[in-house]
């Protein structure tokens, strides 16, 4: 199996990514990047909220349980891993 | 055209010309009868219950305001408690939302009524709405053409007036481009102005929540309701309420507009779009607007930078969808690895798999430094260029897309053309800038972009243009 498919946890017959990898050459060829004056628009790390414990309400909990892919009675079935 | 369809409906409801139940039933009938395939689900029962509550308020003498009683659509990548939220995928085809996205909850709290979950490209992966397990959404004006994407169904519903407004998601143009293809308004607000909590993540560093509507004032009204800091999304920023009542129909004196030469001189730009854009610029000049040509990055560099970052982030974001705690699981009881591989292999479409696999390549050893980190550096360069440009001009205007809406099926044969069709929208996404796609003169709309946080200035300018032409 293809290494990238393993990395992606995806089994697929054929996925053509050559059109996307063409972008790699474009980005490699970008020269003289002037970053002076750029502002970070993502998270401000000096403005974090306090941690707090929030209990899941029963309705929300029921919906989360309903979404579980495999159940036996009240048990949630997960794949077994023993090493 | 009315200045505000929301206000018109409030007038009709307050005067008891129609009831809210009649209004919502009419919209639901239209959604059910539509042949555009714009919806993944119609929320008839819940919507009619909410409409009944609005009618009781009116009967008791309450005068409607804000968004009370207004039917709206929700792109099927937002969680809405108790409804199925699929992201137009097989893997989440039965996923029931355990809570409601902050932006959608704010709209509901203001009295708006969600009536449908709208078709879109799977997890936002596409520009034509063809990457959907529900099938392609058709263009509102031509059944043979695509609706655009990824928020295609939302744009079509607003164009057909089956919803008064719809909420899309815009990562690299997914509101602005379908707004253009269907000739309605679509706003990508400043990054962080609206909470992303409850939006299924595609590219977290540029995902934005925004509205489609038929008038500028209706865009502003919905934006006011959704905006604000949210403790559940650390990237949100505070913003002032837009003063819609003070919008003027006159374009502000000494307004300066920039146009990017690399955009309007690009060989892919359709001649009729270019002609419309040139005509719009001449009209603005005649109104006293100063126009300045600016240099900018070329479309190929913008597209490459955007896709490299987007693929890396989506590979990371979608790694949580593996069929263990939620999603359709392809169970192999003897082999955990096979469970993951088959669940994701069967649950994602070809385009989504392409993006995840390419994203993992971008992040892998040997590519991470040379490709991913270089793209981040180019993004910084793009942000720096915007900062300089908006010291010289108030707005940058550009076409929304270089191409007219493709015929259904065309883009599936050539994904690269689809990616390059995003070249005018992705740069503004990388910069986190507010951008309005507006149906002025230009086929496929014109984009009006301003500096970060200048959403109100864009809407004031757009209102003046809307009223002038």
Backbone angles phi and psi of B397, in degrees to 5: -110, 140
CA distance B311 to B309: 6
Q: Which of B311-315, B316-320, B366-370 has the lowest mean pLDDT?
A: B366-370
Beta bridge partners of B186: B212, B437
Residues 6+ away with beta carbon under 8 Å from B110: B66, B67, B68, B225
| Neighbour count for residue B15 (Cβ, 10 Å) | 9
Can you tell me the mean pLDDT for B406-433? 90
Chain A interface test: which of B190, B295, B361 (most A C-beta within 10 Å): B361
Judged by a CB distance cut-off of 8 A, whether residue A72 touches chain B is no
The tens digit of pLDDT for each residue in B329-342 reads: 997 667 888 899 99
Q: Do A28 and B374 touch (CB under 8 A)?
A: yes
Contacting A residues, span 25-64, partner chain B, CB-CB under 8 Å: 26-28, 30, 33-39, 41-43, 47-49, 60, 63-64
The answer to whether position A69 is within a domain reads: no
Of B99, B315, B370, the CB nearest to A8: B315
Q: What pLDDT band is residue B390 in, cutting at 50, 70 and 90?
A: very high
Q: Is the pLDDT reported for residue B197 higher than 90? A: yes
CA distance B74 to B39: 9
Q: How many CA atoms lie within 13 A of B65 on its CB side?
A: 3
Q: What pLDDT band is residue A83 in, cutting at 50, 70 and 90?
A: low
Q: Do A33 and B323 touch (CB under 8 A)?
A: no
Q: What pLDDT band is residue A1 in, cutting at 50, 70 and 90?
A: low
Q: What pLDDT band is residue A74 in, cutting at 50, 70 and 90?
A: confident
The tens digit of pLDDT for each residue in B22-75 reads: 999 999 999 999 999 999 999 999 999 999 999 999 999 999 999 999 999 999
Give residue B453's pLDDT.
Answer: 96
Alpha helices in B328-408 (DSSP H): 336-347, 350-363, 374-392
DSSP B8: H
Can you tell me the mean pLDDT for B389-397? 98
Q: Which residue has the tokens 């809210």?
A: B20
Number of compact structural domains in chain A? 1
Give residue B62's pLDDT.
Answer: 96
Q: Is B272 part of the annotated catalytic residue set?
A: no
Q: Is B452 part of the annotated catalytic residue set?
A: no
Give residue B7's pLDDT.
Answer: 97
Q: Is the pLDDT reported for residue B416 higher than 90? A: no
The answer to whether position A50 is within a domain reads: no
CB pairs under 8 A between A and B: 166
Using an 8 Å Cβ cutoff, are B113 and B105 in contact?
no
Alpha helices in A1-83 (DSSP H): 3-8, 18-28, 58-66
Query: How far does CA B402 lie from the centroid of its chain?
Result: 18
Of B303, B305, B340, the CB nearest to A9: B340
Can you tell me the mean pLDDT for B87-105? 97
Q: Is the pLDDT reported for residue B18 higher than 90? A: yes
The answer to whether position A11 is within a domain reads: yes
Q: Do B384 and A28 touch (CB under 8 A)?
A: no
The tens digit of pLDDT for each residue in A12-49 reads: 888 888 888 889 999 999 998 999 888 766 666 677 77
- Given B174, B195, B239, B411, the catalytic residue: B174
Averaged pLDDT score across all residues of chain B: 96
**Which domain covers residue A22, as residue numbers?**
1-29
Q: Do A67 and B350 touch (CB under 8 A)?
A: no
Q: Do B375 and A21 touch (CB under 8 A)?
A: no
β-pair type (B71-75, B113-118): parallel
Of A6, A19, A33, the CB nearest to B381: A33
Using an 8 Å Cβ cutoff, are B169 and B150 in contact?
yes
The tens digit of pLDDT for each residue in B201-253 reads: 999 999 999 999 999 999 999 999 999 999 899 899 999 999 999 999 999 99
The tens digit of pLDDT for each residue in B121-162 reads: 999 999 999 999 999 999 999 999 999 999 999 999 999 999
**How far B413 CA lies from chain A's nearest CA (Å)?**
12
Chain A interface test: which of B238, B353, B427 (most A C-beta within 10 Å): B353
Can you tell me the mean pLDDT for B169-198? 98
The answer to whether position A38 is within a domain reads: no
Q: Is the pLDDT reported for residue B287 higher than 90? A: yes
pTM of this structure: 0.96
Chain B interface test: which of A2, A3, A6, A12 (most B C-beta within 10 Å): A12
**Quick one: closest CA in A to B351, which residue?**
A15
Coil, strand, or helix at residue A6? helix
Judged by a CB distance cut-off of 8 A, whether residue A24 touches chain B is yes
Q: Is the pLDDT reported for residue A61 higher than 70? A: yes
Which top CATH class is B5-246?
alpha beta
CA distance A7 to B18: 57
Q: Which residue has the tokens 């498919």?
A: A5
Q: Is B4 part of the annotated catalytic residue set?
A: no
CA distance B55 to B47: 12
Using an 8 Å Cβ cutoff, are B116 and B144 in contact?
no
């Amino acid at each position: 199996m293809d290494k990238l498919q393993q990395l992606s946890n995806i089994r697929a017959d054929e996925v053509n990514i050559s059109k996307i990898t063409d972008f790699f050459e474009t980005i490699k060829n970008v020269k003289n990047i002037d970053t002076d004056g750029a502002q970070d628009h993502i998270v401000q790390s000096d403005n974090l909220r306090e941690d707090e414990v929030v209990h899941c309400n029963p309705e929300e909990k029921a919906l989360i349980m309903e979404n579980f892919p495999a159940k036996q009675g009240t048990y949630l079935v997960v794949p077994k891993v023993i090493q | 055209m009315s200045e505000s369809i929301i206000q018109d409906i409030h007038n009709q409801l307050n005067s008891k010309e129609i009831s809210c139940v009649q209004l919502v039933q009419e919209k639901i009938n239209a959604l059910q009868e539509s042949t555009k395939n714009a919806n993944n689900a119609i929320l008839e029962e819940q919507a009619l219950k909410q409409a009944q509550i609005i009618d009781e308020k009116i009967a008791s003498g309450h005068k409607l305001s804000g968004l009370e009683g207004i039917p709206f659509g929700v792109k099927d990548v937002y969680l809405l408690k108790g409804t199925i939220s699929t992201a137009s995928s097989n893997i989440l085809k039965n996923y029931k939302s355990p809570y409601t996205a902050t932006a959608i909850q704010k709209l509901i709290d203001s009295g708006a009524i969600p009536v449908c979950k709208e078709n879109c490209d799977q997890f936002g992966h596409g520009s034509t709405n063809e990457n959907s397990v529900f099938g392609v959404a058709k263009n509102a004006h031509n059944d043979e053409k695509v609706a655009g994407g990824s928020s295609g169904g939302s744009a079509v519903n607003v164009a057909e007036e089956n919803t008064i407004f719809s909420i899309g998601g815009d990562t690299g143009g997914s509101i602005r481009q379908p707004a253009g293809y269907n000739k309605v308004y679509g706003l990508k607000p400043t990054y962080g102005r609206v909470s992303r909590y409850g939006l299924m993540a595609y590219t977290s560093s540029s995902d934005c929540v925004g509205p489609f509507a038929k008038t500028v004032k209706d865009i502003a009204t919905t934006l006011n309701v959704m905006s604000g800091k949210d403790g559940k999304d650390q990237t949100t920023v505070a913003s002032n309420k837009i003063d819609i009542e003070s919008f003027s129909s006159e374009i502000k004196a000494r307004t300066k507009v920039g146009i990017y030469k690399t955009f309007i001189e690009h060989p892919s730009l359709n001649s009729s779009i270019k002609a419309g854009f040139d005509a719009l610029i001449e009209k603005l000049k005649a109104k006293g607007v100063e126009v300045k040509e600016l240099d900018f990055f070329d479309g190929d560099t913008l597209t490459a930078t955007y896709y490299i970052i987007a693929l890396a982030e989506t590979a990371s974001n979608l790694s949580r969808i593996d069929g263990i705690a939620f999603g359709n699981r392809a169970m192999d009881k003897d082999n955990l690895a096979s469970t993951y591989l088959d669940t994701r292999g069967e649950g994602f479409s070809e385009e989504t798999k392409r993006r995840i696999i390419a994203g993992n390549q971008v992040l892998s050893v040997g590519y991470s430094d040379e490709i991913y980190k270089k793209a981040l550096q180019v993004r910084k360069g793009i942000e720096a260029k915007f900062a300089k440009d908006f010291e010289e001009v108030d707005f940058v205007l550009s076409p929304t897309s270089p191409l007219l809406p493709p015929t259904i099926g065309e883009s599936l044969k050539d994904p690269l053309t689809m990616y390059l069709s995003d070249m005018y929208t992705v740069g503004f996404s990388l910069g986190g800038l507010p951008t309005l796609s507006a149906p002025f003169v230009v086929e496929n709309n014109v984009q009006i972009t301003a500096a970060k946080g200048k959403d109100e200035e864009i809407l004031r300018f757009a209102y003046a243009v809307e009223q002038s032409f």
